[in-house]
């Protein structure tokens, strides 16, 4: 058991990690300024309403054995629309937090994204693929990685960067279904409400999809290891399943699951529509991620497969439980 700090504690990932960590007997220090689009509140696990880079937050987190840093202005469009404001949070705020915690001997686990690799020259993407960001969100995450690693290295501490791929799945919190608006979630809602799937052009853009339960296992394992052994080298992990699909492939799998689950209903219509993130979103049709080094280091295998989870997402949407 350890005292574990968590920034962004009421966000999508934080909202599932907090009760899981508490159930494992850890003492938690939870921080969130509630500025994000999602607020997952657990009455038994209240989060202090604080900016993670504030003096009060740092003072509280400095007594932890490890801190999981999830708080951020998150998303490609949010950072593109306000690069200066998001950079103050994601880069300057992370720099202040990382340096302060390093001075107190507290290792940091940083939430990054596979977007930092841009369009890599060599596939599949591995844990050592260099950063080559192509948009503002990815640039800020790449800067955050370097900040966390530099601060830890200078203090002789271990640190971990978790590069997450596209997370799907959800959970219940106080009777409410919590799910992130990724493409699988949106397809399930479109199927139920509209009887069609809108595929952002060109449709060949390929993503690695990883289930939230598998993501949570990675975060908990890494945090517990750093809490027990705070000294070491910076490490980067790929929190990915190694299961990549194009958006069009995913749409066809959803349509197939729809026919199987509701054979008496009309088949889903597949429509290509203009991509609202055109010019920003990467569209590499051959994108693949290797998690071999991550799996070898942590002993974690991803247990969930997209094809098995699509009927679950459709059933939840049909019940009107997804928000």
Structural domain boundaries of the chain?
3-167+209-239, 169-208+243-288+303-318
- Residue in the block written with tokens 């939870």: 30
For residue range 242-278, list pLDDT tens digits in order: 999 999 999 999 999 999 999 999 999 999 999 887 7
Given this model, what pLDDT does residue 322 score? Answer: 42
Q: Show the tokens assigned to 247.
A: 């958006």
Q: What is the mean pLDDT of each run of 10 residues along the chain (323 residues)?
A: 97 98 98 95 97 98 98 94 98 98 98 95 96 96 98 97 96 91 94 96 94 98 98 96 96 98 96 84 81 97 97 92 42
> How many beta carbons lie within 10 A of that of residue 315, not counting itself?
14
Given this model, what pLDDT does residue 276 score? Answer: 83
Q: How far separated are the first and last CA of the chain, in Å rounded?
A: 34
Given this model, what pLDDT does residue 193 score? Answer: 94
CATH number of 169-208+243-288+303-318: 3.90.25.10
Given this model, what pLDDT does residue 180 score? Answer: 87
For residue range 109-121, list pLDDT tens digits in order: 999 999 999 989 9
Q: Is the dihedral of CA 230, 233, 239, 241 positive or negative?
A: negative
Sequence-ordered list of residues with C-beta below 8 angstroms from that of 124, at least 6 positions apart, any chain: 288, 289, 290
Domain 3-167+209-239 CATH (choose: 3.40.50.2300, 3.40.50.720, 3.30.450.20, 2.40.128.50): 3.40.50.720
- For residue 289, count CB atoms less than 10 angstroms from its CB and return exposed for 0-12, middle for 13-18, buried for 19 or more: buried
Cα separation, 274 vs 193, whole angstroms: 20
Given this model, what pLDDT does residue 320 score? Answer: 77
Cα separation, 112 vs 110, whole angstroms: 6
Given this model, what pLDDT does residue 282 score? Answer: 64
Q: What is the DSSP letter of 308?
A: H
Given this model, what pLDDT does residue 54 score? Answer: 98
Given this model, what pLDDT does residue 280 score? Answer: 66
């Amino acid at each position: 058991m350890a005292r574990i700090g968590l920034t962004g504690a009421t966000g999508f990932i934080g909202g599932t990690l907090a009760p899981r960590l508490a159930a494992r007997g850890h003492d938690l220090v939870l921080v969130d300024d509630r500025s994000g689009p999602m607020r997952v509140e657990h009455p038994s696990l209240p989060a202090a309403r604080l900016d993670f880079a504030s003096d009060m937050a740092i003072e509280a987190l400095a007594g932890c054995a490890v801190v999981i840093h999830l708080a951020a202005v998150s998303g490609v469009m949010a950072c593109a629309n306000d690069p200066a404001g998001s950079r103050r949070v994601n880069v300057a705020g992370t720099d202040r937090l990382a340096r302060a915690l390093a001075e107190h001997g507290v290792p940091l686990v940083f939430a990054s994204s596979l977007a930092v690799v841009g369009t890599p020259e060599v596939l599949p993407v591995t844990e050592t693929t260099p950063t080559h960001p192509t948009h503002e969100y990815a640039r800020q995450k790449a800067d955050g990685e370097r900040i966390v690693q530099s601060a830890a290295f200078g203090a002789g501490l271990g640190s971990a960067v978790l590069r997450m791929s596209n997370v799907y799945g959800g959970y219940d919190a106080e009777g409410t279904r919590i799910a992130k608006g990724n493409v699988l979630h949106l397809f399930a809602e479109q199927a139920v409400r509209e009887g069609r799937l809108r595929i952002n052009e060109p449709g060949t853009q390929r993503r690695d999809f990883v289930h939230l339960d598998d993501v949570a296992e990675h975060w908990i394992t890494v945090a517990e290891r750093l809490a027990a052994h705070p000294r070491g080298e910076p490490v980067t992990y790929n929190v990915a399943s190694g299961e990549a699909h194009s958006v069009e492939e995913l749409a066809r799998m959803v349509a197939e699951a729809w026919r199987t689950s509701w054979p008496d209903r009309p088949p889903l219509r597949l429509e290509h529509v203009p991509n609202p993130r055109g010019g920003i979103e990467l569209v590499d049709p051959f994108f693949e991620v290797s998690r071999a080094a991550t799996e070898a280091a942590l002993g974690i295998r991803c247990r969930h497969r997209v094809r098995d989870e699509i009927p679950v997402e459709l059933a939840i949407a049909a019940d009107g439980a997804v928000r």
